[in-house]
Structure 1
Amino acid sequence: MTEFDVVVVGAGPAGSAAALEVARAGLSVALVERGPFPGAKNVFGGVVYGRVLDELIPRWWERMPVQRWVTRRSTMVLTPTQALTVDLRAQDWGQAPYNGATAHRSELDSWLAEQAVAAGATLITSTVVTGRSATGVRTDRPDGDIAAKVVIACDGVNSFLAKEAGLFKAREHNTLGVKETLALPRAVIDERFGLTGDEGADFEIIGCTGDIPGGGFLYTNKESVGIGVVLELDGLTAAKVRPEELIAELKAHPAIAPLVRGGELVEYSAHLIPEGGYRTMPELVTDGMLIAGDAAAMCLAAGIWLEGVNFALGAGMYAGRAAAAAIAKGDTSKAGLAAYRTMLENSFVLGDHRRLRDMPGLVLSERVQRRYPGLVCDLAQGMFEVDNAQPKPGLRKLLREARRTHGVRVRDLLRDGITAMRSLS
C-alpha cells in the first residue's frame, strides 16, 4: 500500500489546487486522475475567471495557457425572429491581471497539475478510485490501495466518494452542456467579433432552447469558436430532441449565423453540469474527507453568470489548507476539518452561492425560459419602431401589450423581479 498524508481524487482545477496547497505545506500528497493525463476527459464551454489564482500562483497570467482574454461580454435574449443584446466591452479587461479568458481544459488542467507536481505532489494517472478504505482509498491498480490521513474528493458531478459516504444530495437542475468547436481563421474571427490581438468575446444566450429549460453560449478561441447549449435533463428527455438539433437551430438564428458561417466542425462534446447551486450542495466535510468542485455542486448558474472553474480553484485551495492544518494538529475528524467550511463561508465560494441560491430555480423557470424572452424583445422593438401613424406609445402601454401577448401576469413579474433583486443586491 502506498502511503501519503493526503490523497486528492480528481486532477481537475479543484484537485490540482488542493494538491498544490498540501504540497506547499510540506506534506506528501497523491493527485489521482482516472484519465491518461489531467484534462483528458474534460470538456468546457465557457470562460475561466482566474483572479482566484492570485493567491495560488503569482503572476499566473504570464504562464497560464489561454486562448484569448475576454474583453467583450454579451448577454443575448432570443426569439425565433428577434435578438436583444446587452454588449459590454471593457478595455482594462485586456490588461493584466485580466478578468477572464477562454481556454482549452486539456491544456489548463495539465498546467495546473504541473504546478502541483512542481511543488512536490505525486501525480498518479490512469487510475480509478473505487471507494474509501479504512486507511485511505481503494483503487483499480494491481499494486494496491492508497493510504492517507485525509481524502479530498474532487471526483466530479457524480462523485462516487460523496455518494458512498452518504453525503450526496439528489441533484435538482442538473443540466447537460453540449458544445461544438468550429474552426475559423483568426482574421475572420477578429473581423466578425470586432476583436484585435488576444482579445476575446463571450456570449451567454437565453431563449434558444425551445421548450427545454436551458441556455446557450458562444465564445472565441484563437482559431475556433465554441458554440453550444446547456439543457435541463428532464426537459431534454421529455422533448425527445437531440442536442445537436438545438445547436443547429442556434447556428441558423439570424443573430448568430453571420458569426459562425463557414466554421468547420472539429469537436463535439458533452458534459453534465451541477446547476442546482447552494441548495443542492452535499455536506462538505466528514471524518477524514473533504469535498470540492463539481462534486460539491460548486457551479454558479445564475442567469448572467455561468462560472465553475474559479469556484473549483477556490474550494480546492481551501480544502488543501484545511487538510494540512488538521494533520498538523493531529485531528482529521469532521470537527478537526471543520475549518474548511469556515474558509468557504468567509470567501466568494460560498458567499456568492449563498446570496444567489434562488437564481438557478428562477433562471430555469417556465416564465424566464419561454415568456420573458418574447416580452423583452417585443418591448424593445416597440420602443424603437417608428411608423409615424400615431405618437410614440408609452412604456407602460408597451409593457401591458407585451405582457398580454406572452401571458405574463403582473404578480409573477413582480415576484420574479423581487427574487432577482434580493439575489443581486
Structure 2
Amino acid sequence: MTDRDQPAEDLLRELAPQVLGVLARRHGGAFDLCEDAVQEALLAAVRQWPADGVPANPRGWLVTVADRRLVDRVRGEIARRRREERLALATPQSALLAPAADAPDPSADDSLALLFLCCHPALPVPSRIALTLRAVGGLTTAQIAAAFLVPETTMAQRISRAKQTLRAAGGRLAPPEGSARLGEDGEDGEDGAARLGEVRHVLYLVFNEGYTASGGEELTAPRLAAEAIRLTRLLLRLTPGDTETAGLLALMLLTDARRPARTGPHGELVPLDEQDRTRWDRGLLDEGLELIAATLPRGHVGPYQVQAAVAAVHGEAATAEATDWPQILALYDLLLRLDANPVVALNRAVAVAMVHGPAAGLGLVDELAADRRLTRHHRLLAVRAHLLDRLGTDPPAAARTYREAAARTTSAPERRHLTTRAQQADPHPNT
C-alpha cells in the first residue's frame, strides 16, 4: 500500500512525530514553537487533502508547511515584539530561516527521542500523557480533552504549561546518554533505562484509561487504547531488544482482545468470568500469546512481562472454569516481589480466593484496607463485596459494600454494575 492509498487520518498520525522530529532537530530548543507549527500543518492537511488528494510526498509536504508556519511566526514576533533574542539563544537565526529543502536526512527517525522528550522528568505525569498524545500520537487538543473528560481549554493549558516547562528545563530532542544501545540488547545506563521506563509507564496509563475509562458514561475509550498500542508498537520497533517493552505490548494486546466482550447490548459491564469468549478478538489474542511466549525466555523478566503472562493464562482458557488459577497465583507471587504495590496485592488476593476460597481472599483484602493508597478506592470495596457475595454468609454486608463501591466510582457503567450486584446479593434489604 502506498502513502496515497493509506487513510489520511492514519497517515497523519504516523507522520506527525517524524515531522516534529525534523523541525525540532533543525530549530534546536524551540520545541514549543515546532510543535505548534506541526499541529497547524496537520490541520492544513485535514482541510486540503480530502479535496486535493494526498500529495506524492506527504511527509515533505508537512515539513514544508510546518517549517513555513514556524518561520512566519518567528518573523512576526520579530516584527511585532522584537523578541528575537529569546529564540536566538536556543537556535541560530540561519537555522530558523532554513528552507524545507534543507531538511535533515529523511530516513532519520526521531520518534524515540521525541518520546523521551515528552516524558521528561521535569513534567508531571498528566502533562507527559497529554504531550505524548499530541506530539507523538498526533491527536488534537480537542480529542485528548474529550478522551480524558476535561474541557478543551483545560487540556490546552496543560499542554502549554508542559511545553513551557520543557523550555525552562532545557529539554532538547536527544535521547538520554547511551539510550541508542537499547535496541541492541535491552541493557543501558541508569539514565536511559529510567527514562525508557517512564515512557512505558505513560503508555501503560494511556492504555488503562482507554480500556477502562476512569469516568463518564462509556466503559472504554477505544481511541486511547488503540493509540497506546500503536505507540507501544513504535517503541518496540525502536528498541527491539527491550523485553519489558515487548511485555507491555503483549499485555495490551491480550487485554484489549477481551474488549468486544466487556459490554453487553446496552453498554452494561460484563465481568471476565461472564464474558462470551467467542467474542474475544482472536487476532489480537494470538499475537499477544505469540509475543509473550517469545519474550519470556529471552532474559530478565520484569513486571509487564509477568502481567502479560497472567493475561495469557486467561486468554488460553476456553472457559472461565478452565482458568489455571494456581498458575495465576504463582505469577502474582512473582509480580509482588518485582512490584510491591497495593493494586498487585489486591489482584493477588482475588487469585488467592479462587485457589483457597473466598475467606482466605477476604483476610488479605482486610489487611489491604489499612493501606492509605487503597482506603478510598472503589476497587478495594468492589473486590471485598464480591468475596463476601461468594462466601454467602452475610448478604446484607455484601450488598452494603457493593453500594459503597458504587458510590465511590466515577464510571457510570461500573456504578450501574455494582448497584445491580448489590440488588442481586440482597434482593430484599428491608425485609
TM-score category, normalised to shorter length: under 0.3
TM-score (norm 1): 0.23
Structure ranking higher in helix proportion? 2
The structure whose Rg is larger is: 2
Considering Cα pairs closer than 8 Å and 6+ residues apart, tell me whether 1 or 2 has the greater RCO. Answer: 1
Structure ranking higher in strand proportion? 1
